[in-house]
């Protein structure tokens, strides 16, 4: 396998990490609870590190600094615009559903299970891949806790939570569909990943997650 498929994969992950970094930085000032603000500031720092690690990995593949296009550029842009709507409205819960629950859940699932050893360069990225997956697991858990507490306090109507989850999930499906060619390059079925992502999202056992 040539370097290009893994470079395109890393470019996609880099754009996703930049989106998560930007979102967490905008979420932190919206948090009313001190512990939530602390967590989001820590997540902002972690996402910055993630982006730097992935960027360095991409540079190792393409040392000349040639820009590698991600097939998910348009789909990630659509996701960014939806998050921007919640953030501009100071809707922290909506953005938590979009970022920590759905997007981080997707990232944790894909990064945690992507077999980078299919490339000759893949094994060297194992430790970084595991670090990213572990921290994204913690971001996802934070999101589910925040939403569960909000639902318990009735800060957010159940119907609104279900609608927002479904909307962001469809956008996440768009990201996976845009990466169909990459999945094929790594001999992985995108439809299986999508189905297992949906199953993992349902396993959060939050009301309204199930289709």
Range of the domain at 146: 3-202
Cα distance between the two ends of the chain? 38
Write the DSSP assignment of 56-115 as a string of letters.
Answer: HHHHHH-TT-PPPPPTTHHHHHHHHHHHHHHHHTT-HHHHHIIIIIIIHHHHHHHHHH--
pLDDT for residue 167: 96
Whether residue 144 lies inside any domain: the answer is yes
Query: How many domains, in total, are found in the chain?
Result: 1
Q: Are 137 and 108 in contact (CB under 8 A)?
A: yes
Whether residue 207 lies inside any domain: the answer is no
pLDDT for residue 130: 67
Q: Are 158 and 95 in contact (CB under 8 A)?
A: no
Whether residue 210 lies inside any domain: the answer is no
Q: Are 13 and 72 in contact (CB under 8 A)?
A: no
Tabulate helix, strand, coil % of the chain (nearest 5): 80, 0, 20
Whether residue 78 lies inside any domain: the answer is yes
Whether residue 188 lies inside any domain: the answer is yes
For residue 38, give the H/E element and its range.
helix 34-61
pLDDT in tens, the chain (211 residues): 567 888 888 899 899 999 999 999 999 999 989 999 999 999 999 999 989 988 888 888 776 656 788 899 999 999 999 999 999 999 999 999 999 999 998 887 777 666 554 445 555 566 666 667 678 788 988 999 999 999 888 888 888 888 999 999 999 999 999 998 888 887 778 888 888 888 878 776 565 555 4
Whether residue 211 lies inside any domain: the answer is no
CATH of the domain at 166: 1.20.1260
Length of the chain in residues, anyone? 211
pLDDT for residue 172: 96
Whether residue 175 lies inside any domain: the answer is yes
Helices (H) and strands (E) in the chain, counts: 9, 0
Whether residue 208 lies inside any domain: the answer is no
This prediction's pTM? 0.87
């Amino acid at each position: 396998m040539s370097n290009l498929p893994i470079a395109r994969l890393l470019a996609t992950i880099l754009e996703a990490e930049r989106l998560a970094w930007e979102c967490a930085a905008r979420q932190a000032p919206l948090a009313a609870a001190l512990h939530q603000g602390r967590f989001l500031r820590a997540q902002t720092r972690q996402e910055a590190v993630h982006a730097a690690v992935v960027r360095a990995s991409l540079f190792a593949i393409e040392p000349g600094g040639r820009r590698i296009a991600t097939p998910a550029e348009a789909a990630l842009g659509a996701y960014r615009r939806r998050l921007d709507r919640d953030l501009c409205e100071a809707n922290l819960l909506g953005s938590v559903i979009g970022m920590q629950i759905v997007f981080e859940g997707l990232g944790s699932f894909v990064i945690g299970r992507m077999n980078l050893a299919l490339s000759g360069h893949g094994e060297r990225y194992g430790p970084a891949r595991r670090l990213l997956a572990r921290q994204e697991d913690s971001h996802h858990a934070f999101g589910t806790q925040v939403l569960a507490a909000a639902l318990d306090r009735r800060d957010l109507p159940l119907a609104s939570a279900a609608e927002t989850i479904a909307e962001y999930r469809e956008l996440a499906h768009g990201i996976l569909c845009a990466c169909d060619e990459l999945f094929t390059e790594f001999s992985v079925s995108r439809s299986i990943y999508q189905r297992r992502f949906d199953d993992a999202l349902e396993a959060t056992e939050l009301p309204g997650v199930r289709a």
